[in-house]
Every structure is written in C-alpha cells, then in structure tokens.
Amino acid sequence: MKKGILEFWVGLFVLLGLGALALLAFRVAGGQQGFSGSQKTYTVYAEFEDIGGLKPQAPIKTAGVLVGRVKSIELDPQNFQAKVGLELNQQYAFSSDANAQILTSGLLGEQYIGLNQGGSDEKLADGDYIEITSSALVLENMINQVVGQLMNKDDNSQTTSNEGN
C-alpha cells in the first residue's frame, strides 16, 4: 500500500515537472502572440534590402521600450525586397516620417526593429508604409568585405614590389 502511494506522488511530481518544462518551452519559443488581447494594434509595413536573422514575433522597440512585434515577413516579388509587417500598439502614434532599422541586442543577440519618431504632424495609419529604413548589418558580409580589402591590399603591395625589381 505504501509503495503505491509513493509511486503515485513520484508520478504526479514527474508530470508537473514535464508540464512546467512544456510551458517554459512554449514561452521561450514565442508562444505569446502579439500583445495581450485587450490592447488594440495597427499594422504598418517597411521594406528592407536585407533582414539578416529577423523573425516573426521579434520585438519592435523605441527608446528601449517594447511598442510592437513583427507580424509578418515576405518577399515583395516586384522589387525583391523583404516586406515586413509591423504590428504596433495603438497607444503609440508614430509620425509618417518615422524610420525603422534592424538592430541586434549585443554582439550576437537577437535581432529587433528600432523605430524612431520623425518630426511630421501626420501620423502613420493602418496599412501605411515606413519609407525610411536601414537594413541589418550582417556579420558575414562585413567579414567578407574586410577580407576582400585585405586581399586587394596584399595584391597591390606585391604588384608594386615586383615593379621595383
């Protein structure tokens, strides 16, 4: 009898632990869609040449404050740029000349969109486009540029040393 009760409690403890792990995994993986149900949002769009590792549900921040989430990412077939849907909290009214840039938390952290307020009195409305954007800085591209410059510099120095002989 005592063995059966002990097995029951161990089994219950294991099930609660697995449930807690599943909940944690769900939250870490971005299981919370958008904002809480009581907050109203509007969607604007921005086009970027390169979004790097930006993903749906990535944060949108202004002055370090969460003001929205990335709703969608798709390729525009006309200009072959990434069209990013930005779901913004309606309490934050950004001007029509606001600018968006893809930033990285830390050196190798997650990517997010930084939204900066402009100076216009006209406000962004649902479905509008943010015209001023800055693409992500992709670490691999920067390394390739540096290596390419170093290779060109080495080629030029070898050429001039050969001409002197």
Phi/psi for 99 (5° steps) reads -125, 150
Other beta carbons within 10 Å of 42: 19
Give residue limits of the domains in the chain.
1-31, 41-140
Mean pLDDT to the nearest integer, 60-72: 92
**Mean pLDDT, the chain, whole residue set:** 83
**Among candidate residues 62, 75, 54, the one with its CA nearest the CA of residue 135:** 54
pTM of the model: 0.64
pLDDT band at 38, cuts 50/70/90? Answer: low
pLDDT one-digit tens code per residue, 72-104: 999 989 999 999 999 999 999 999 999 999 888
DSSP state of 124: P
